[in-house]
């Protein structure tokens, strides 16, 4: 399922690349966090993702996110 996201939206180095994403669901299957990157490295690290889960602070923006 694409959920309104075009995975082929970004063109890099003469190739199509998929957008990275991080999705966190709660125990009931409700999406609590959804982050869609703007380039291959634009996503929270594993450590940042675990901190998001631990604290419940679902705010994140990669420092090099493309506008």
pLDDT at site 25: 94
Cα Rg, the chain, nearest whole Å? 13
pLDDT at 39: 80
If one counts the domains in the chain, the total is 1
pLDDT tens digit sequence for 6-60: 655 655 555 566 778 899 999 999 999 999 888 888 889 899 999 999 999 888 8
Residue 35 phi/psi, 5° resolution? -125, 125
pLDDT of residue 63: 75
- Domain of 40 in residue numbering reads as 1-67
Range list of H helices, the chain: 46-55
């Amino acid at each position: 399922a694409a959920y309104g996201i075009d995975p082929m939206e970004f063109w890099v180095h003469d190739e199509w690349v998929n957008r990275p994403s991080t999705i966190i669901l709660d125990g009931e299957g409700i999406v609590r966090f959804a982050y869609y990157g703007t380039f291959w490295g634009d996503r929270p690290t594993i450590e940042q993702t675990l901190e998001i889960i631990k604290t419940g602070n679902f705010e994140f923006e990669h420092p090099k996110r493309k506008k």
